Amino acid sequence: MVTMNQGHSASSIMAIWVSLLSNIVLTVLKLVVGFVFRSPVLLADGFHNAGDVVASAAALTSMRISKRPADQDHPYGHGKAEVIGSGFVAMILGLAAIYIAFEAVMALFEDPATASKIALLTAIVSLIWKYVLYIYTIRVGKAENSKGLIATAYDHLADVYASLAAVVGIGLALIGDSFAIPLLAYGDPIAGIIVSILVFKIAIEIGKESIDILMEKSVSDERLAAFENLIHSMPEVKRIDRLRAREHGHYVLVDIRIGVTGDLTVQEGHVISSRLRNLIMAQNEDVDEVLIHLNPWYPEKQSGILTNEE
């Protein structure tokens, strides 16, 4: 068995720490400004950010657990801890979407709040800050194939949408106050409803991916085809009896059954297995284990000899 990946690099851990600290700062900023200037949209966004703090902390914890090497109780490593963390982020996003939608609908039946330029500035700062965080975390997350970090990045993207809605809503309210157009004050809750739908869509996508991995869903057909091409590139391999591969958090496990010439020695078969394993892992950095089973293969059926997969 090959050595399991020991986890994420310092860059991915740094990215999640930056996300966590940023969410704490933005939560405090939005709640204080929202309370002082009586901005319902900022208060709602602030409570949404409070949920992001919990989600970032969960992602950090799951990433640290996923770094642990394989042991006797977890021979395949702890990679799925990160997938569980990703699923938790999806639940936080789903609840946030419901909360934003509820607040937005309720606001439609209430007198609009007086708009504040400070509240608008805070929403703009949040928008820019969260967009930069999204770009940063999605790049690191994809480079490290970190499900937890990618989920955190999409959490930032959801916050970008929420902040954009706040900017639009507060901006329309300010325009309405300046030109005596009361109807524009309701631009905020309408934008909030649209944002809640977008955030909920992101939550469903993240949650579905987490469930697929936890349920041992196979990698894509394109990925399997690439593995198949690598296997066929070795002339010693006469037949592929079975090929399976699945994600296990930030790494992939591959299970292969192949047919090789039946009169090979155990040593010769071992050499073929080692070469194939090294070939697959050399061209797929995220593959951390390749389990290979050899079946005997003969040019044609001979009396008393089975050529089928065993």
Give me the pLDDT at residue 260, please: 93
Instruction: Provide the percentage of residues in the chain whose pLDDT is more than 90.
Output: 25
Model confidence at 170: pLDDT above 60: yes
* Tens-digit pLDDT profile for residues 6-28: 445 678 888 888 988 998 999 89
Rounded Cα–Cα distance for residues 161 and 138 (Å) = 16
| pLDDT value for 77 | 64
CATH of domain 10-214: 1.20.1510.10
pLDDT for the residue numbered 203: 82
Split at pLDDT 50, 70, 90, the class of 265 is: very high
Residue 300 has pLDDT above 50, yes or no: yes
Q: Which tens digits make up the pLDDT trace of 283-299?
A: 988 788 899 999 999 88
Greatest mean pLDDT among 146-150, 159-163, 175-179, 273-277: 273-277
pLDDT tens for 100-152 read 788 778 877 877 666 678 888 988 999 999 999 999 999 998 888 777 788 88
Note the pLDDT of residue 9: 65
Map out the domains of the chain as residue ranges.
10-214, 221-297
Choose the weakest-confidence range: 214-218, 241-245, 287-291.
214-218
Q: Please, which pLDDT band fits residue 241 given cuts at 50, 70 and 90?
A: very high
Q: Is the pLDDT of residue 274 over 90?
A: yes
Q: Which of 51, 134, 57, 58 has the alpha carbon at shortest distance from 99?
A: 51
Across the range 160-171, mean pLDDT stands at 83
Mean pLDDT of the chain: 80
Q: Is 221-297 assigned to CATH 3.30.70.1350?
A: yes
Judge whether residue 309 has pLDDT over 60.
no
In this prediction, residue 3 has a pLDDT band, given cuts at 50, 70 and 90, of very low
pLDDT digits (tens, 9 = 90+) for 49-84: 777 787 777 777 766 766 777 667 766 666 667 677
What is the average pLDDT across 237-246? 91
Tokens of residue 98, six digits: 């419901």
